[in-house]
Amino acid sequence: MFGATGSTSIDEISIALGTGHVPGILAFMAIALMIVGLGFKVASAPFHVWTPDVYEGAPAPIVALMSTGPKAAAFAVMLRVLFATTSTGWYPLIWISAALSMTIGNFGALIQNNVKRMLAYSSIAHAGYLLVAFAAQNDLGMAAAMFYTASYAAMNVGAFAVISHIGSTGERYVTVDDYSGLGRRSPLLAFTLTVFLLSLIGIPATAGFLGKYYVFTAAISGHAGSLIWLVIIGVVNSAVASYYYLRLIVVMYMREPVIAEAPAPATPAMKLALLATAIATIYLGVIPGKVIDYATLGALDLKPRMQSAEKASSEYQNATASPVNHLSK
C-alpha cells in the first residue's frame, strides 16, 4: 500500500485512493493482501484452516482468550482500515468471505464430536456473521459489528470456561459423549453452558439474538439487492447451527451419564467467571441500550474521518481537473 500511495497514514491512504491517482492494480493487490492477513487473524474463510486444529490442541483457557481478545482487536483494525476509505473495492471480497465463513463453519461443526473442535468451526461461522455487518457499509453496520464482538466475547469465554472445568486435568473429557447426564451430575455447569449455547444459537433474551438482529438489520438497510442474499445465507446457517448446539444440550439433559463421577466443585474464581459471563450474556440480550449506544458513538466517531477523507479527495479532484472537465460537469 505504501508503494501505491506513498504513505502509511490511513487518512492519507484514503485520500490517495479516493483521488484515483494511484496504480490501480497495485492498490487492489494491497487491499486484497491486507484482507488476507486480517482474515487469517479473525479465522474467516478461506483463511480458516488452522482454526480447528489449534483450538483442539491448545488448552481451553488459551482458546477462550485467543477466540475473543485478539479476534476482537483484529476486527477493530479491519473496521478502521476498511471504513476509512471511500473506495468500495473490498466489498466483493468481504461478501464472499462472509458467505463462505458462515457455510463452512456451520456445516463443518455438524460432524464434530470434539466439543472444542465444534466450537472452533462455530467461531468461523460467527466471523462470517460479523463480516455481514462489514458488508453493509453503513453506520448501523459499524455499530452492529462492535456490539456483536462484545456479545460473542461474553458467551464464548463463558462456554470455554465450562469446557475447561469439565475437561479436568489434561482435558480428558472433551467429547460430546463426555457431557452425557451433566444436568444431573453438575446442574450449575450444565445450566450455565446451556445459557451460552442458546446465545450462540441466537435465542431471544440472549446477547447472540440481538447481535444477529443488529447485523442482519444493518445488511438489509444497506445494499438491498446483493445483501438480501447474504442475509438469507446467514439465516439459513443460523438454523443449521441450532442442530449441533442443541445436540449438546440434549446430551447433557436427556442421556444417561457415561462418566459416573461428577466434575470437581467449581472454585470461587470459576464461579465468579461463570456468573460474570452469564450476566453479560443475558444483560446484552435484555438491556442492550448502553452498549449499543457506545457502539453507535464509536461508529459516529469514525464517520467524520471518512467524510473528511471523502471531502479531501473531492477537493483534490476539483483542483487537478482541467477547465474542459469543469465545463463538461
Q: pLDDT per residue over 11-38, tens digit each?
A: 888 888 877 778 878 888 888 898 899 9
Predicted confidence band of residue 329 (pLDDT cuts 50, 70, 90): very low
- Domain extent for 146: 2-321
- How many domains are contained in the chain? 1
In a domain, 183, yes or no: yes
Average pLDDT over residues 174-185: 91
Cell digits for 257? Answer: 451419564
pLDDT at 275: 94
In a domain, 197, yes or no: yes
pLDDT at 325: 42
CA distance 311 to 225: 28
In a domain, 328, yes or no: no
CA distance 243 to 263: 26
In a domain, 287, yes or no: yes
Predicted confidence band of residue 173 (pLDDT cuts 50, 70, 90): confident
What sign for the dihedral angle of Cα 310, 86, 42, 34?
negative
What is the residue whose three cell numbers read 444417561?
256
Average pLDDT over residues 181-202: 93
CB 52 within 8 A of CB 117: yes
Cell digits for 319? Answer: 483542483
Question: Between these two residues, 260 and 319, which has the higher pLDDT value?
Answer: 260
In a domain, 158, yes or no: yes
Question: Between these two residues, 168 and 119, which has the higher pLDDT value?
Answer: 119
Weakest mean pLDDT among 72-86, 157-171, 199-213, 297-311: 297-311
In a domain, 329, yes or no: no
CB 94 within 8 A of CB 131: yes
- DSSP letter at 212 equals H
How do residues 94-127 score in pLDDT, each as one tens digit? 999 999 999 999 999 999 999 999 999 999 999 9
pLDDT at 80 over 90: no
Distance from first CA to last CA of the chain, Å, rounded? 31
In a domain, 326, yes or no: no
- DSSP letter at 112 equals -
CB 13 within 8 A of CB 5: yes
Predicted confidence band of residue 280 (pLDDT cuts 50, 70, 90): very high
In a domain, 327, yes or no: no
